[in-house]
Amino acid sequence: MSDPKKLHPLSTLLTFFRELKSLVLPIVFLFFMGNGEKHNIWDYVPIIGIGAVILFVLVSGVVKWLRFTYRLEENELKIEYGLFVKKKRYIPVERIQSLDLSAGILHRMFGLVKIRVETAGAGGGSDSEAELTAITKAEAQALQQFINEEKSRKVLANKQDARFEKAESRSDRDIFYQAGLFELLLLAATSGGIGVVISAVFAFLSQFQDMIPYEKIFKEAAHFIEMGTIVIAILVFLVLFVAWVISIGLTLLRYAGFALSKEEGNVVIQKGLLEKQQLTIPMDRIQGITILENPLRQMLGYCSVHLESAGGAGEEKGSASMVIIPMVKKKKALQMLAELFPDYCFSASLTPLPLRSASRYIGRACLFATPPVIAAAWLFWPFGLWGLTAFLPALLYGFARFRAAGWNVSAGQLTVRTRGVSLQTVFMLRHRIQSLEMIKTWRQRQRKLASVHSVVKSGATGKKIKVTDASAADAEEIYQWYELRKKG
């Protein structure tokens, strides 16, 4: 595979749409500027500007396709691109950890795939080391086969098919988890995506604050207010309901066909309806495993499972936290994880915090509630005194955080359970922990308490897991357990 190869011509169109998406706000702005009566040639400048932008993006996409080549030779993936400045990127095969494949609607229409090249030592976030936007499945198969052969130094007759083709024809017994319709609906209904939808709408509208007739809208809103609180309540309910339905639809599109499997020392994830994705996570890059349960899912006995990975194309920008099980019964999740990751222990009995630390959890929760309570009492006196009732949920929240917290150390694993809004249980192998420190403030020393902060690598930075206000003896036990790593 030493001859330079070009991407499929469809990559021109894909690049065009991607660049156009990033310019949607300026184009819409120019459209509104030019959407009026035309008196002279200058009134056509915005429309001309839109045409010039679209033409420039299209031409640049064609040029990028013409100048982009890739080839595999001498144990390297070599990529060359650039118009005025010829750029070359050489990626050694031994650094390539995985090839993540995805296929959008246009890809599938033409039998193509997009490949993201993930390498050892790459930073976290959404950017990969290299990307081939559109190549045929046969070329993807040849690329994967070449890399596998170079890394193993021998040709394996039973591995002639690429991982992408194998994944599509994998039998059910090879799949550890496959999301059902009920699980996806439950995931969508309890995901909290409604806030994201509403925030996105407000962010979009804020870009056109000079064009939206807010004065007229406020007058109409005042008219609705005069109609009574029942009408307002109904309108608010309808807005929230529509946002909730939209968030459900977006979640279903994202996780449709979700399947988790394990092959050749990798965890493989398939998901997506409009854009079919296949993500490959090498087992040796997994730094920790997290089980998340928000209050509603916890009551129903369901949870989601995330992996912390040392780099790669994570789902959250700046991190490499990936969902490997979006929604499943917790008991079933523990069974699957025990089979999938035999080096971990998922049935450890956790040590709770001492009772004397409860007041510190409750006090911190009430402290956060104090400013809004004072503000409400000051602004709406004397009715604002009803804000004092906010201390009751704050007290219950602080106590719930105290009751949820716990820890366990075994021969080679640290397990920590905490609660923010969701209950979070993190499993970390000792040799994967980047750092661990024990902290004692003067108030903690008075009560014979201490906190332990551990960090596992997650993307370019790390994820900090805290055991807050454990007994001093327990904190010392965790610290000494970690010190054995150095002695070992």
Model confidence over 339-357: pLDDT tens digits?
889 999 998 899 999 999 9
Least confident window among 116-120, 210-214, 384-388, 401-405: 210-214
Closest CA to 79 of 111, 34, 121, 115: 115
Phi and psi angles of residue 127, each rounded to the nearest 5 degrees, phi first:
-90, 130
The structure tokens listed for 38 are: 């035309």
Higher local confidence (pLDDT), 115 or 125? 115
* Average pLDDT of the segment spanning 60-78: 81
Mean pLDDT of all residues in 443-470: 88
Range name among 28-32, 40-44, 202-206, 477-481 with the lowest pLDDT average: 202-206
On the 0-12 / 13-18 / 19+ scale of CB atoms within 10 A, 427 is: buried
* C-alpha pair distances (Å), 457 with each of 6, 305, 422, 438: 36, 17, 22, 19
Quick one: average pLDDT of 129-147?
Answer: 81
Q: Mean pLDDT over residues 400-425, rounded? A: 93
Determine which of 167-181, 200-214, 353-367, 473-487 has the lowest per-residue pLDDT on average. Answer: 200-214
Of the two residues 120 and 260, the one the predictor is more confident about is 260
Selection from 129, 77, 83, 138 nearest residue 111 by Cα: 138
Check residue 393 and give its pLDDT: 92
Q: Taking residues 189-206, report their average pLDDT.
A: 55
Residues 6+ apart with CB under 8 A from 253: 272, 273, 274
Q: What is the mean pLDDT of the chain?
A: 78
HSE, CB side, 13 Å, CA atoms: give it for residue 186: 20
Confidence of residue 53 (pLDDT cuts 50, 70, 90): confident
Task: Decide if pLDDT at 362 tops 50.
Answer: yes
Strand partners, 132: 115
The full 3-state SS of the chain, as one line of letters, equals CCCCECCCCHHHHHHHHHHHHHCHHHHHHHHHHCCCCCCCHHHHHHHHHHHHHHHHHHHHHHHHHHHCEEEEECCEEEEEECCCCCEEEEEEHHHEEEEEEEECHHHHHCCEEEEEEEECCCCCCCCCCEEEEEEEHHHHHHHHHHHHHHHHCCCCHHHCCCHHHHHHCCCHHHEEEECCHHHHHHHHHCCCHHHHHHHHHHHHHHCCCCCCCHHHHHHHHHHHHHCCHHHHHHHHHHHHHHHHHHHHHHHHHHHCCCEEEEECCEEEEEECCCCEEEEEEEHHHEEEEEEEECHHHHHHCEEEEEEEECCCCCCCCCCCEEEEEEEEEHHHHHHHHHHHCCCCCCCCCCEECCHHHHHHHHHHHHHHHHHHHHHHHHHCCCHHHHHHHHHHHHHHHHHHHHHHCEEEECCCEEEEEEECCCEEEEEEEHHHEEEEEEECCHHHHHCCEEEEEEEEEECCEEEEEEEEEEEHHHHHHHHHHHHHHHHC
Of 32-36, 37-41, 116-120, which one has max mean pLDDT?
116-120
Judged on CB neighbours under 10 Å (0-12, 13-18, 19+), 150 is middle
Token couple for 397: 């929240």
How high is the pLDDT of residue 1? 53
pLDDT at residue 169 above 80? no
29: CB partners within 8 A, 6+ apart: 207, 208
pLDDT of residue 470: 94
| Segment 214-223 mean pLDDT | 56
* Arithmetic mean of pLDDT, 195-221: 51
Say what the pLDDT of residue 316 is.
45
- The confidence band for 37, taking pLDDT boundaries of 50, 70 and 90, is low
Radius of gyration of the chain (CA): 27
pLDDT beyond 60 at 54: yes
Q: State the pLDDT confidence band at 291, using cuts at 50, 70 and 90.
A: very high
Residues 448-455: what's their mean pLDDT? 93
Stretch 425-432: mean pLDDT = 92
Greater model confidence, 426 or 47: 426
> Between residues 452 and 128, which one has the greater pLDDT?
452
pLDDT of 159 reads 43
Predicted confidence (pLDDT) at residue 319 exceeds the cutoff of 50: no
Check whether 188 has a pLDDT greater than 50.
Answer: yes
pLDDT band of 334, cuts 50, 70, 90: very high
pLDDT at 307 over 80: yes
Counting residues of the chain whose pLDDT is more than 90, the rounded percentage is 22
Confidence of residue 406 (pLDDT cuts 50, 70, 90): very high
Question: Of the ranges 218-227, 228-237, 306-315, 470-479, which one carries the lowest mean pLDDT score?
Answer: 218-227
